[in-house]
Amino acid sequence: MTPSQSYQRDERSCCPDSCNKRGACNWSTGHCSCGWFYDGDSCAEISDIAVTLIACLTGFFLIILITIVYWKFNRRTRKLAVSDTLEELRRELLIADEISEDDIESHSVNHRDKGASQKHSKYLSKGFIADIQQQLFLKDVSVSPGEVSMERQIGDGAFGDVYVGKYRETTVAVKVIRPNMLLGMSQEEVDCFKKEAYIMSRLRHPNIALFMGIVSVSDPLSDAGFESLYILSEYMEKGSLLDIIEQVNSQETSPFTNDGYIDWSFERILMCALQAALGMSYLHSHNPPICHRDLKSSNLLVDSRWVVKVADFGVSRVMTETSAEGSSQTLEQNADESFLKTTLVGTVAWAAPEMLVSQAKANYTLKVDQYSFGMVLYELWERKRPFSELTSRFAIMDAVRAGERPVIAREGCSKNYMHLMDLCLQEDPIVRPNFSEIVRVLKEELSALDTF
């Protein structure tokens, strides 16, 4: 055998398939020397090390991919859930005086589809909803004390004094809550107070006084963490309808005054009543409806253009939908005399009979505001407080419970105006007209004046 033949035989028997170009041929043994990634006689198989490494890398990247997808999905779902429940959350802020975490969950189940509520609850924890609430309070309601300066005092009331002030170069009315009202208030009660302010900050109507914010002046030494509270609202140049009525009365004894003569005609009375009714109709048409509970001439403010606006929502409450439809809303009342002094001073003459019960609870509907509006109609025409001949609030309460009502005595009042007032002052709340009906009647009265 020639050397060339021996070489050809050795080359054919060495390293099958030339190691598939994945390794080097060992001429002495006739086997392939494969790299770490391959194995087998001809390096045609993947090694165990490579399989393990590929499996680990694949699992690692799958975990990263799943994590990213889940994070994006969860974030998107949470945003959708927030968008879907934000209006519901705002409703929760309106419905209860004190919203607990259990209230949020239970009311959500009662007013929305149960399955949808459970779905959202997976992504919106109670703490997350509470955080949204707190952000809404702080961002939309709170004002820094340094942004407000007070000038002169323009009025006072049972709960605080009212000043003219400046807020961001704008003239505002600043109501300072009396110190005795702050005694004993906890931080939770302050938060509830801010919540009520938040409710009013959401209202937008030409005949609703614009709420501009609340100021909490901190005091670290106080148990409650604050020393005073200010309520900011738009400044109404002409004051309240009560101020105007008093000025009109003073014109009769002193015709020449520095405040300017006021033509208190029947048309002016109707215009003021109509604008007040429009504001109240907005409150009652709100979703959910808002019951003012303290409607009277001193809480109807007038600007320089004779636009009347409903104001002072300190005792307002948001009614449930069933209450708006006629069923009763329960008002927890303390029968203690001190509580009556706090809540009914100056307002008992305008309070509906169902709110003057002696029991621990008073059941009432939105129609309590219609009763108070009837008293406002009396004020506008007679230019005096209802039951002004009675000096004791308890005497007024007894008179109202006995069915007594103030009577129009000043001459010249139209029959439709008196009839509307009588309807508003009915004992049975169901008989009292809705504010939409009141608006219709007042507009018809104005139109009748224009025809003459």
Distance (Å, whole) CA 170 – CA 238? 17
Q: Domain check: are 121 and 252 in the same one?
A: no
- 175, 160 in Cβ contact below 8 A? yes
Distance (Å, whole) CA 206 – CA 210? 9
Provide the 8-state DSSP code for 336.
S
Lowest mean pLDDT among 78-82, 125-129, 225-229, 422-426: 125-129
With 0-12 / 13-18 / 19 or more C-beta atoms within 10 angstroms meaning exposed / middle / buried, residue 240 is: buried
pLDDT digits (tens, 9 = 90+) for 35-84: 777 777 777 777 778 888 888 999 999 999 999 998 888 877 776 665 56
Domain end position, chosen among 118, 140, 162: 140
Distance (Å, whole) CA 427 – CA 354? 8
Checking if the pLDDT of 326 tops 60, the result is: no
| Centroid of chain to Cα 20 | 77
CATH number of the domain to which 413 belongs = 1.10.510.10
Q: Is 314 inside any structural domain?
A: yes
Q: Is 418 inside any structural domain?
A: yes
Q: Is 163 inside any structural domain?
A: no
Q: Domain check: are 54 and 37 in the same one?
A: no
The residue range of the domain holding 55 is: 48-140
Q: Domain check: are 374 and 249 in the same one?
A: yes
| Centroid of chain to Cα 220 | 28
* Banded pLDDT at 252 (limits 50, 70, 90): confident
Q: Domain check: are 38 and 85 in the same one?
A: no
Distance (Å, whole) CA 400 – CA 349? 8
Q: Domain check: are 40 and 125 in the same one?
A: no
The answer to whether 294 is a known catalytic residue is: yes
Checking if the pLDDT of 176 tops 60, the result is: yes
Q: Domain check: are 335 and 260 in the same one?
A: yes
Lowest mean pLDDT among 43-47, 237-241, 318-322, 345-349: 318-322
Q: Is 179 inside any structural domain?
A: no
The encoded tokens of residue 288 equal: 């959910």
The overall pTM is greater than 0.75: no
Distance (Å, whole) CA 58 – CA 343? 71
State the pLDDT at residue 54. Answer: 87
Provide the 8-state DSSP code for 36.
T
Distance (Å, whole) CA 24 – CA 42? 10
Task: Kindly report the number of other CB atoms within 10 A of residue 46's CB atom.
Answer: 13
Beta-bridged to residue 390, according to DSSP, are none
Domain end position, chosen among 140, 172, 199: 140
ω into residue 288 within 30 of 0, thus cis?
A: yes
The contacts of residue 204 (CB under 8 Å, 6+ apart) are none
The encoded tokens of residue 447 equal: 């139109």
The encoded tokens of residue 11 equal: 């080359």
DSSP per-residue string spanning 243-279: HHHHHHHHHHH-S--TT------HHHHHHHHHHHHHH
Q: Is 271 inside any structural domain?
A: yes
Nearest to 381, CA basis, from 419, 405, 408, 404: 408
Q: Is 84 inside any structural domain?
A: yes
Mean predicted lDDT score pLDDT of the chain: 75
Distance (Å, whole) CA 176 – CA 156? 9
- 355, 330 in Cβ contact below 8 A? no
Q: Is 57 inside any structural domain?
A: yes
State the pLDDT at residue 130. Answer: 53
The number of folded domains in the chain is 3
Distance (Å, whole) CA 404 – CA 349? 11
Checking if the pLDDT of 284 tops 60, the result is: yes
Q: Domain check: are 52 and 133 in the same one?
A: yes
CA distances to 8, 46, 146, 289 from 62, in Å: 51, 22, 55, 53
**Token match 């005609």: residue?**
265
SS3 405: coil
Q: Domain check: are 27 and 114 in the same one?
A: no
Q: Is 415 inside any structural domain?
A: yes
Q: Please report, as a single letter, which amino acid is at residue 319.
A: M
Catalytic residue among 39, 294, 312, 369: 294
Q: Domain check: are 258 and 328 in the same one?
A: yes
Q: Domain check: are 320 and 447 in the same one?
A: yes
First CA to last CA distance, the chain:
142
Q: Domain check: are 42 and 52 in the same one?
A: no
Pick the residue with more confidence: 323 or 179? 179
Q: Domain check: are 243 and 109 in the same one?
A: no
State the pLDDT at residue 342. Answer: 33
- 373, 424 in Cβ contact below 8 A? yes
Nearest to 233, CA basis, from 167, 291, 155: 167
Nearest to 372, CA basis, from 354, 350, 387: 350
H/E stretch holding 212 reads strand 211-218
What's phi and psi for 164, nearest 5 deg? Answer: -85, 135
